Amino acid sequence: MTTRCGFAAIVGAPNAGKSTLLNRLTGAKLSIVSPKAQTTRMRVLGVLMRGETQVLLVDTPGIFRPRRRLDRAMVAAAWSGATDADLVLLLVDARSGATEPVREIARTLGKRGGALWLVLNKVDLLAPARLLPLTAELSGLAPFAETFMVSAANGDGLDRLLDRLAAAMPEGPYLYPPDELTDLPDRLLAAELVREQIFLQTHEEVPYGATVETESWRERPDGSVRVEATIYVARPGHKAILIGERGARIREIGARARTELARLLDRKVHLFLNVKQRAGWDEEAARLRAIGLEDPP
């Protein structure tokens, strides 16, 4: 039996729907999603099987102009995801269209060479007539070998995309066990699910100023797991917001994250959250490493 296996990286501007696409294609909530930009901070791998082919799909942080050390590490992780891949998918929010950041990413990808496909996402939100001019405009910026129009939200066009992806993978042995969904360690997954709730339940700078680390992970004899996680916030005011009135907010964050984690792990979870203030965590190499990022030079 000849097997195929390769890496396909999803890159694009923040909010294009990269994480939604990864989750939809793998059928699992691997990468956290929120309506806010820059939710994804690290590279997340999804393992997809299509016949005798293993597609290793890589979700990346959005590409934008970085300011903080954290932002630089996120953008560096996105570009390195693209560099290591056999194929790069530029995912574009078709409703926002060819914005200047999208054009810049397209031009950069075009110059780097390598196999490049264009995927227009969120086609559920706009009239089909707008898609052709957009395709033409973007195609002028980089040599896309193929173009797809999809909705990561409702699944339109994804079957064809997955078929083409599988056919494009090079021959080779599987790099991951076929029944594995991701390379993300459970501890990191737990921290990410807490961070997702922070993105969904708090506003303005609060989610951007917070990071989550799993401090302890204890298997219990009854098959459940006891997880303790710390949320670090950059500002004292943010701590009060996260905790909420009489602890209501942090309880709600914990309750929802626990439900999601229990579903993904398929076991009972006890989740305990602490909130600590730690000014400047987003400039600390150790904090970046803790969330799977390498410190950029």
Token digits for 154? 């409702």
Contact criterion met (CB below 8 Å) for 78 and 217:
no
- Which residues does residue 119 pair with via DSSP β-bridges, in sequence order? 91, 148
User: Least Å distance between CB 67 and ligand GDP?
Assistant: 18
Of 29 and 69, nearer to ligand GDP (C-beta) is: 29
- Work out the angle at residue 62's Cα, subtended by the Cα atoms of residues 57 and 64, and round it to the nearest 5 degrees: 150
Binding at 81: pick from Mg ion, ligand GDP, none (beta carbon under 5-8 Å per type)? none
- Joined together, the tokens standing for residue 173 give 């042995």
Binding partner of residue 207 among ligand GDP, Mg ion, none, CB under 5 to 8 Å per kind? Answer: none
Q: How far is the CB of 238 from ligand GDP (least distance, A)?
A: 22
Q: How far is CA 109 from CA 61, 66, 106, in A?
A: 15, 18, 5
Could you tell me the smallest distance in angstroms from the CB atom of residue 274 to Mg ion? Answer: 26
Rg of the chain taking only CA atoms, in angstroms:
20
Shortest Å distance, C-beta 25 to ligand GDP: 12
Q: How far is CA 209 from the centre of its chain?
A: 18
Which contacts (CB < 8 Å, 24+ apart) does range 123-127 have? Answer: 123/94, 123/149, 123/150, 123/151, 123/156, 123/157, 124/151, 124/153, 124/154, 124/156, 125/94, 125/95, 126/94, 126/95
Residue nearer to ligand GDP on the CB measure, 29 or 239: 29
| Residue 201 interacts with which of ligand GDP, Mg ion, none, CB < 5 to 8 Å by class | none
Spell out the residues 6+ positions from residue 246 whose beta carbon is closer than 8 angstroms to its own.
none
Retrieve residue 64's tokens.
């934008």
Nearer to ligand GDP, 155 or 170 (CB): 155
Select the binding partner of residue 240 from ligand GDP, Mg ion, none (C-beta < 5 to 8 A, by kind): none
Residues lying near ligand GDP in the complex (CB under 6 A): 12, 14-20, 33-35, 39-40, 62, 121-122, 124-125, 151-153
Residue 124's binding partner out of ligand GDP, Mg ion, none, with CB under 5 to 8 Å set by partner kind: ligand GDP
Q: Which does 85 bind (CB under 5 to 8 A by kind): ligand GDP, Mg ion, none?
A: none
Q: Which residue, 14 or 244, has its beta carbon nearer to ligand GDP?
A: 14
**Binding positions for Mg ion, 7-66, rule CB under 5 A:** 18-19, 40
Residue 152 contacts which entry, ligand GDP, Mg ion, none (Cβ below 5-8 A, type-dependent) = ligand GDP
Of 74 and 142, CB closest to ligand GDP = 74
Residue the block writes with tokens 């990191």 = 188
Q: In 10 A of CB 297, how many CB atoms?
A: 5
CB of 138 to Mg ion, least distance (A): 20
Q: Give the nearest distance from C-beta 231 to Mg ion in angstroms.
A: 20
Which C-beta is closer to ligand GDP: that of 15 or that of 211? 15
